[in-house]
Each structure stands twice: as C-alpha cells, then as structure tokens.
Structure 1
Amino acid sequence: MKIKPLKKIELYGFNNLTKTLSFNMYDICYAKTPEDRANYIQYIDEQYNADRLTEILTNVAKIIGANILNIAKQDYDPQGASVTILVSEEGEFNTNINEEAESPGPSSLGSVAAHLDKSHITVHTYPESHPDDGISTFRADIDVSTCGHISPLKALNYLMQSFDTDIVTIDYKVRGFTRDVNGKKIFIDHKINSIQNYLDVEFRDRYHMIDVNVYQENIFHTKMLLKDFDLDNYLFGISKKDLSPNEKRKIKNKLKKEMYEIFYGRNIIKV
C-alpha cells in the first residue's frame, strides 16, 4: 500500500504556536523508622540532584533539537532541586509545518530536527515524608515549552525512561495561533487524539491510563498508574521477609491509599 505524504501548511512568517508539556512524576515508598525516612530523602536528593537533572534536561533539549542558551540550577537545603534551561531555535527558520502523525519519540538520544524560539525547559523536585505513618513520596515537575513546529511530546518517552515512576500525570496544551499565507489563523498544527499515542507500547502496557481531553481548547491530560505491585519495590531499609503478614497487609494498604489519592486527586477514607 502506497502512503501519501502529509500535506504541508505554508505559513506567513514564523510558526508562533506555543506548545507546553507538563510532566509530573511520583515515587512512593514506605520507610518504617524516622532514620529510614531521613535516609530515603537523602537517597532521592543524591539520585536527582541539580547536576543529574541538568543532564536529563540537556538530553531533552537535544531530542527536540533545541539550542541551549542558558542553564540555571540549584540544590536546596534541606532537600529538593531546580533547573531552568533557556533554549532557542537551531538552524534556519522553517516556514512550512508538517502535520506530524501521532507517534512515540525516541527513548534515548538520536538525531531529531527542530526549529524553536523563545522556549524553555524546567524541573523542580519535591521529596517529602508523612510525619506519622512511614509513607514517603518524591515528586518531580518538568515543563517543556516550545515555539515552532515540533511538539515537546517527542521527549515524553525519554522522560519516562529517565524516571522510574509509580504515578505520572501529563498535561499538554497548544496556545496562541499562527497564520497561513492567506491570513487564516491556525490554532494547532499537528494531529493529536491522545497523549498516549506518543508513548511506546511498553509504557502503555505497564500502566493503567485515563484521558481527560478538551479537544475544542487543544488541552490534553493523561494520568498513569503502575499496574504491578510488588511490596519489596516500595520498602526502604527493610524487605518483605522482615515483616509479619499483618504488617505487610497494613503497609500495602497504606501504600495503595497514598497512590490512589495521588492518582485520583482526592483524599480516600479506605482502600
């Protein structure tokens, strides 16, 4: 079967659409003692310090083809880190838009062409512990905002691979408009039905996923919850063999409650 090439839209000047991807990930664990909870926070701070986050965001910039103008990074006391990268277009302005098909981007670095201007990539981390019941969480918020014809959704697979995460919430919005050569406004320049279509099959199979999309406003939202639950993967400083059956049941219920509350965005009395 012969596939017809997608028709390009001829623009009047540069593509002024702004596309923003907000990627929020959560890691959940149970740390039994105050010492274990402190060690978990220290572990997360070391794993996702400003230097490591800078490396991840620099690779995101390479994937979407951005030219890095400036990097600002900061580790915080007692915990957390932030990185902001200002990026610009690379190469000549492209006055044609490709109506890109929904397809996953690379999971690792490769050669991806892009044309960007007035764009940025940011990350902020939020490690925290419940004061009483042993639950600790780590949240990372990443925003990738681009102007031009490429969508930051192409960096989604790499972000999923970079963060071993239990819960993910993804928001994608196209803002503003650009014009074709006849002056007609264009409010979105690529086809999109769901953020899920930009993820590799291995990620889609690994998570329960829910979409909440407002197509008329070019707003797309996907929530993801890890399917598999092995208690050992959620224990810090101890293992299942150190716990009685009753302790395992109680800890599992605590962890499930925490995960469901984050996933559904509301407090739950019982699981």
Structure 2
Amino acid sequence: DKYYVYVESPKSGLAEWTAKPVIVTTEAGKTSRHVTLELIRGGIAEIEITDGKSGEPVEGATASIYDYRIHFSGAPSGKDGIIRIRLAPGEKYDLRSVYKHGYVTGRVRTAFTIAEGETNSFKVSLTPLTKVKGVVLDESGKPVEVAKLWIFPRGGWITQSTTRDGKFEGTWDYTAASPSGVNMRFVLIAQHRQRDLAQVAEIGDGTKGVNATIALQEAYTVKGRVVDPDGKPVSDARILLYMWYAGSGGSIQDILSD
C-alpha cells in the first residue's frame, strides 16, 4: 500500500516550515524506516474573511485547502479575520471553502499555485445565517412550552422545545435548502403533539430574519387502518404524511401502524 506523509499545519499560529509530501510504500508486517521530509520555507496562502453584512473581520473561521491528495486547514482566523497557511511550492491547490459557525459556508473553489517565498492573498465574504425567533401561543393566547418548530421544505429544526414562556430562537442556512438558481419559498411549522396543536407560518425565501408570533390551533388528525390484500390488519407498516407548499413537498411526519 502507498501512503502520503506530510507536515500538518499547526492549530494555532503560522508554521515556520513546511515540506513536500513523500510517498511511503508499506508491506504487511513490516516497518517502513528512514522516511525523510525536507523542511522548506515554502509560500503562504493568506485568506481574509469578512462579515458579508457588516464588513467586519470574522474571527475563528477555518479554511479548507486541498491538493489532489491532502487536506490543509491551518489555524483559525484571528481578530484581523485572516488565515495564514504555509504550503509547499510546485503543487496545485484548491481553496474550496471557508467555515464559521453562525454563517453560511463560503464555497470558494479557487485553484492556485504558490512559489517559494510568495504570499497568495484571497478575500472571502461570509453571509450570516438567517435568524429565526419568536413566541408560540395557544388558542387562548397563553405561551406554549415544549413546542417543536422546523422549516419546510428541507430547512431542518429550529428547536425541539420552546421555553417556559413559549419563546424560540435559532438560525438556518437557506442556501442549503435552495437548489442553485431556484427561488424557493419556505414555511415555519410549529407543533405540540401532546396537545394536538399545530400551525404553519409563511417566512418567504429565507433571506430575511424572522420574528414571529405563532398562534397554535387544533391540529388535523389523520386516522386509518392498514390491511393486506386479504383484508387482514398489517402491523409495523410505515405511513408517511406529506406536505406540499409552493411547488415543493416532503414528509412532515411518519408513524408505524399498531
């Protein structure tokens, strides 16, 4: 088997040295010895990350750089919003993405090479995740605790449980739910199964924050019986409840028959 041995970037600060990867061939039961990596200064990839709304530097972001064999990430960005990664010259690299919790992942896909002693600079602007918050009330206007909320279609959970005063708060990445070039429309679904309460609130295309007051109403109940071709009851049959909205659909609940 063949493996690549390389110098990994430190998790803090900029490495003083790097090295070109070397190939090591191994055999079962044997130890590969005298593997040598020659340290060199190399070049530096410098990625400046800013907040897409405020323009301020983003601290704590990480970058993913690949050659055709190895993934490089380096230390997170500092207060200046800059990531610096030392790389070996003569290789072809691909700056694929930049990530920071609370932001839409910046998918860059920029190919580059680097020379000894050279610094290649890149600028990436991250879009903050859309914030979704509000309060859930029952039909009498009282706060509803332990209600669940999620975004449909393909938006994922906002919370599994509202607070004692019925409040909820979360974020979501609408770009992950929207196929490229498709103008999607989304809804926020609230549900309290123990009390058979539910409600659906329209939230648009996901680009703007949401601050909603959701008044739950008595939910629809779907009942039925699953039988085989001979009319005999079938247990453990999976029943999916689908919902359609603005041309998109998906399952919002599934249960098993008794």
Instruction: Note whether the superposition's TM-score is higher than 0.5.
Output: no
Q: Is the strand fraction higher in 1 or 2?
A: 2
Query: TM-score band, normalised by the shorter chain?
Result: under 0.3
Q: Is the helix fraction higher in 1 or 2?
A: 1
Q: Which has the larger radius of gyration?
A: 2
Q: Which has the higher contact order (CA 8 A, sep 6+)?
A: 1
